[in-house]
Amino acid sequence: MSDPIPALPTVDWSYAPSVESTAIVAIPAEQGLWIDGSMVESRSGTTSTTINPATEEPLGVVAEAGEEDVDLAVKAARSAHDSVWADLPGRERAKYLFRIARLLQERAREFAILETLDGGKPIREARDFDLPAAAAHFFYYGGWADKLEYAFPGIEPRPLGVAGQVIPWNFPMLMLAWKVAPALATGNTVVLKPAETTPLTALEFARLTAEAGLPDGVFNVVTGAGATGAALVAHPGVDKVAFTGSTAVGKRIQESIAGTRKRVTLELGGKAAHVVFDDAPLDQAVEGVVNGIFFNQGHVCCAGSRLLLQESIHDAFVAKLKDRLDLLRVGDPLDKNTDIGAINSAEQLERIRRLVAEGESEGGERWQPACDLPERGFWFPPTLFLGVAQSHRIAQEEVFGPVLSVMTFRTPAEAVEKANNTPYGLSAGVWTTKGSRILWMADRLQAGVVWANTYNQFDPASPFGGYKESGFGREGGRHGLLPYLGGVA
Amino acid sequence: MSRLEVRKTHKLFIGGEFPRSESGRVLAATDADGVVLARVARASRKDLRDAVESARAAQPGWAGRTAYNRGQVLYRVAEMVEDRRSTFVRLLAADGRGAADLEGEVDAAVDRIVWYAGWADKFAQVVGNVNPVAGPYFNLSTPEPTGVVGVVAPEVPPLLGLVSTLAPVIVPGNTAVVVASGRWPLTAVAFTEALATADLPGGVVNVLTGGADELVPFLASHLGVDGLDLTGADRSLVPDAARAAAGNVKRLLVDPPDDWWTAQSPYRILAFSEIKTVWHPKGT
């Protein structure tokens, strides 16, 4: 006769956050501009406060560079170009880039936390994607610096001069690396304008370049908003303009440099189609679609924001998608479990809300999982729009948020026609188990990047950039060198 | 008793056909001394739109040809130009230069077309890439044509300048709307007659004679045009054209070469190509 089995202790399975400490990050209360190798006060005297979008708490004050400040930065870059950087042997330039890559790896966690604080992205993404990828870009392009004559046949590689680079707020450090690494590797010097809502990592990176011993003036940072960017692009001392951001601003930049000898690359908006055929592995495809649109709150120019489902799998796929969305965790970006962090700014949140409201008024059926959003900060839940027509604004305009429009198709030809029915052409996704169909689709999708049976993959060795109004020029890979090289005739 | 010469009517080349300008307008084509040689059609904005429409319609089919086939068609263009050597020599002579230069320009033009024809099935191998990404993925970058490209041919050299700008545009599968030399349009018209017999599908190349100053602004702002080669354009037209081109983020080629006689490069082909990168996981 045995004793009765003792009752199991009660386990509390309710959610326990796992929050990254911010103790290793020190943000200066007020920062100037990084010009000619040191932090200087702005001549403009104007400043702005950058906030944490998850709490709306101020993080620090930064300068807003005026025309005079931009002029000083461009002159510093010109001087560094002419006196030291352009003629430095490639093998020496390479070693600076390798040093920068190593320092970024060493201080990756600090930068990741800073990125999350300033931009609102989940720490898991900043830590596991943004920072490793940024360091990898410096490693990749460091290796090119002394091999440029082998990159493309028949070229006589030489730098263009001073590169004015304007980057967005969605991947501040990664966009910095995409721009700065190939520019420096090819012997150009840089004046970088980070986004007004995410200036902190660029300024910290500036200090890191000094730690790496990078000669003064080779890399300069002017913080500020659109006016600062416009002043940089318009400066006559800038030889090369590189811009990542909206198509509207990209067009203005292309207009503004018309008739000058400035070279330009534009990496602009997108409205990517994500095509799922009835023979696709549906559970894998659901993961890909979720990653495609909800990665980084959907603040991704190549986000798969138009889901094209083959008609026969629509209901089953949407059911699986809803089940998956129910499990996404929205909230504190510093929580390592968070899938969807804060919307980057009040302005962006307003834009998302406006487009979602229009999506509903045009007849789309909005679906959102039940989720509690924090009271303070900028938040938007993952959102599906069902029953969307191609003519709906929600299917045409870039939302740049966690909003997925669902449409259907019957034949591969119809999928291609709908996928290409947009002025954008940055990226596209396709899910099918049929190899010949993947290649057939890949040939026809008008997009600079086609992800087949995967989505949102990036690598320093892989070129990225758009067709049509998503811009021109490539960043990454061997092709990413070309926009920074003279002597390609 | 002498025989009366039969003169040619000089028309536009749109969609593989030879229409007059819908506007009914003509221009006088003169020699170096101002003697009128013929009338040519003065293309209108409507003609330009028709040309863009033809180019747009022809583009997927032309891009869909195999690179080998596009190369053969281009080679056939070279054959047709060579075959019309005496015609081109006669037309080029209107500028009053010496015989050696006339033969030399035809030689160079034919050789340039042959040079680009050979690139058709090699270009992707030279500028394409298998990318060694840090993960289990197949990753391939290949060039594709940009789409419809506007070409402003240089005034001189009339034949060599035209083929130097046009050939690299159509090699990778773009279709073209060409604004021909305003000063020496008869050469361009003769060239379209060579194109018409070269197995080139209708609409792949469309050639408009008339005033560049009149046509280029419309070409630059047309939303059906994806790229614009301004290397041959008069510099006074460039700023406005480049500004208008921003309306749909056209790809631009702006800087003129030092010398049209040496202006051949695979990077002219790349200027109107898009690099497409395809990822696929590797696994069992």
The whole-number pLDDT of residue A9 equals 84
Which residues in chain B touch residue A470, judged by CB atoms under 8 angstroms apart? 249
The whole-number pLDDT of residue A134 equals 98
Average pLDDT (A331-346) is: 98
Nearest by Cα to B228 from B156, B161, B165: B165
- Both A352 and A393 in one domain: the answer is yes
A228 domain-assigned = yes
- Both A384 and A472 in one domain: the answer is no
Q: Does A288 touch chain B (CB under 8 A)?
A: no
Cα-to-chain-centroid distance, residue B172: 12
Binning pLDDT at 50, 70 and 90, where does residue B222 land?
Answer: very high
- Both A255 and A180 in one domain: the answer is yes
Span A360-388, pLDDT tens digits: 999 999 999 998 999 999 999 999 999 99
- Both A45 and A181 in one domain: the answer is yes
The whole-number pLDDT of residue A1 equals 57
Span A290-311, pLDDT tens digits: 999 999 999 999 999 999 999 9
Q: Cβ–Cβ of A247/B267 closer than 8 Å?
A: no
- Both A312 and A168 in one domain: the answer is no
Concatenated DSSP letters of A409-473: ESSHHHHHHHHT-SS--SEEEEE-S-HHHHHHHHHH---SEEEES--S---TTS-B--SGGGEES
Q: Does A461 touch chain B (CB under 8 A)?
A: yes
Pairwise CA distance, residues B208 & B191, whole Å: 12
A399 domain-assigned = yes
Q: Cβ–Cβ of A459/B135 closer than 8 Å?
A: yes
Binning pLDDT at 50, 70 and 90, where does residue A6 land?
Answer: confident
- Both A290 and A258 in one domain: the answer is no
Which residues in chain B touch residue A488, judged by CB atoms under 8 angstroms apart? 267
Q: Does A454 touch chain B (CB under 8 A)?
A: yes
Q: Cβ–Cβ of B249/A247 closer than 8 Å?
A: yes
Span B231-263, pLDDT tens digits: 999 999 999 999 999 999 999 999 999 999 999
B100 domain-assigned = yes
Chain A residues 104-143 with a CB less than 8 Å from chain B: 136
Q: Does A302 touch chain B (CB under 8 A)?
A: no
My answer on whether omega of the bond before B157 falls inside 30° of 0, hence cis, is yes
Is residue A390's pLDDT more than 90? yes
Q: Who contacts A107 (Cβ-Cβ below 8 Å, separation ≥6)?
A: A208
Average pLDDT (A277-284) is: 98
- Both A152 and A168 in one domain: the answer is yes
- Both A302 and A368 in one domain: the answer is yes
- CB contact at 8 A, A474 and A268: no
Q: Cβ–Cβ of A154/B265 closer than 8 Å?
A: yes
Chain A residues 247-286 with a CB less than 8 Å from chain B: 247, 250-252, 254-255, 258-259, 261, 266, 268
The first and second tokens of residue A197, run together, are: 């809502």
Average pLDDT (A3-29) is: 90
Span A214-269, pLDDT tens digits: 999 999 999 999 999 999 999 999 999 999 999 999 999 999 999 999 999 999 99
A189 domain-assigned = yes
The first and second tokens of residue A305, run together, are: 């924001």
Structural domain harbouring A56: 30-268+468-486
**Single pTM value for the model:** 0.96
A18 domain-assigned = no
Binning pLDDT at 50, 70 and 90, where does residue B1 land?
Answer: confident
Q: Is B69 left (phi over 0), alpha (psi -120 to 50) or beta?
A: alpha
Q: Cβ–Cβ of B276/A449 closer than 8 Å?
A: yes
- Determine the residue of chain A that is closest to B128 in CA distance: A479
The whole-number pLDDT of residue B165 equals 98
- Phi then psi for A33, rounded to 5 degrees? -105, 150
B13 domain-assigned = no
Write the residue in B247, B248, B275 that is nearest to A448 by C-beta: B275
Catalytic residue (choose from A64, A125, A267, A469): A267
Numbered residues of chain B with Cβ closer than 8 Å to any chain A Cβ: 126-127, 129, 131-135, 137, 139, 141, 226, 238-243, 245-249, 251, 255, 257, 265-267, 274-281
A8 domain-assigned = no
The whole-number pLDDT of residue A129 equals 98
The total number of structural domains in chain A stands at: 2
Identify the CATH number of the domain in which residue A300 sits. 3.40.309.10
Is residue A3's pLDDT more than 80? no
The whole-number pLDDT of residue A7 equals 83
Q: Does A477 touch chain B (CB under 8 A)?
A: yes
Catalytic residue (choose from A115, A125, A204, A301): A301
B23 domain-assigned = no
Q: Cβ–Cβ of A251/B247 closer than 8 Å?
A: yes
- Determine the residue of chain A that is closest to B272 in CA distance: A472
The whole-number pLDDT of residue B215 equals 98
Mean of all residue pLDDT scores within chain A: 97
Identify the CATH number of the domain in which residue B177 sits. 3.40.605.10
- Both A63 and A185 in one domain: the answer is yes
Concatenated DSSP letters of chain B: -PPPPPPPPB--BBTTB-PPPTT--EEEEE-TT--EEEEEE---HHHHHHHHHHHHHHHHHHHHS-HHHHHHHHHHHHHHHHHTHHHHHHHHGGG---HHHHHHHHHHHHHHHHHHHHHTTTHHHHH-EE---SSSEEEEEEEEE-SEEEEE--SSSHHHHHHHHHHHHHTTT-EEEEE--SS-HHHHHHHHHHHTTTTPPTTSEEEE-S-HHHHHHHHHH-TT--EEE-TTS-GGGHHHHHHHHGGGT-EEE-PPPS-GGG---HHHHHHTEEEEEEEEE---
Structural domain harbouring B244: 38-281
Q: Cβ–Cβ of B278/A442 closer than 8 Å?
A: yes
Chain A residues 320-359 with a CB less than 8 Å from chain B: none
- Determine the residue of chain B that is closest to A255 in CA distance: B243
- Determine the residue of chain A that is closest to B278 in CA distance: A450
Closest approach of chain A CAs to the CA of B3, in angstroms? Answer: 52
Which residues in chain B touch residue A448, judged by CB atoms under 8 angstroms apart? 274-277
Q: Cβ–Cβ of A474/B275 closer than 8 Å?
A: yes
Mean of all residue pLDDT scores within chain B: 97
Span A117-148, pLDDT tens digits: 999 999 999 999 999 999 999 999 999 999 99
A148 domain-assigned = yes
Pairwise CA distance, residues A397 & B125, whole Å: 36
Q: Is A301 a catalytic residue?
A: yes
- Both A258 and A279 in one domain: the answer is no
Span A350-367, pLDDT tens digits: 999 999 999 999 999 999
Which amino acid, one-letter code, is at A383?
Answer: T
Q: Cβ–Cβ of A154/B266 closer than 8 Å?
A: yes
- Both A92 and A210 in one domain: the answer is yes
Is residue A2's pLDDT more than 70? no
A13 domain-assigned = no
Span A420-429, pLDDT tens digits: 999 999 999 9
B10 domain-assigned = no
The first and second tokens of residue A140, run together, are: 């990749």
Which residues in chain A touch residue B238, judged by CB atoms under 8 angstroms apart? 258-259
Which amino acid, one-letter code, is at A172?
Answer: P
Identify the CATH number of the domain in which residue A472 sits. 3.40.605.10
Q: Is A358 a catalytic residue?
A: no
A2 domain-assigned = no
Which residues in chain A touch residue B126, judged by CB atoms under 8 angstroms apart? 153
Span B135-158, pLDDT tens digits: 999 999 999 999 999 999 999 999
Which amino acid, one-letter code, is at A100?
Answer: I
The total number of structural domains in chain B stands at: 1
B253 domain-assigned = yes
Q: Cβ–Cβ of A258/B245 closer than 8 Å?
A: yes
- Both A118 and A174 in one domain: the answer is yes
Which residues in chain A touch residue B127, judged by CB atoms under 8 angstroms apart? 152, 479
Is residue A90's pLDDT more than 70? yes
Is residue B210's pLDDT more than 90? yes
